Amino acid sequence: MIRYRKILELEGEGISLRGIAANTGNSRQKVTEVIDLAKKKGLVCPLEEEMTDKWLEEFLFPEKTLEASGRQPLNFDYIHKELAKPNVTLSLLHHEYESDCRANNKIPYSYRSFLRHYSNYADKYKATWGTETIRRLRGHIRKKPIL
pLDDT in tens, 67-101: 566 688 888 889 988 988 889 999 999 999 999 99
> Sorting pLDDT into bands at 50, 70 and 90, what band is 9?
very high
d(Cα 141, Cα 111) in Å, to the nearest integer?
A: 22
d(CA 51, CA 45): 11
Give the pLDDT mean for 45-64: 84
pLDDT of 111 over the 70 cut: yes
Q: pLDDT band for 112, please (50, 70, 90 cuts).
A: very high
Dihedral sign from CA coordinates of 34, 35, 36, 42:
positive
- Cα–Cα nearest to 74, from 126, 110, 103, 114: 114
The H or E element spanning position 21 is: helix 17-24
**Number of helices followed by number of strands (H, E) in the chain:** 8, 2
Query: How high is the pLDDT of residue 4?
Result: 92
Q: Which helix (H) or strand (E) holds 80?
A: helix 76-83
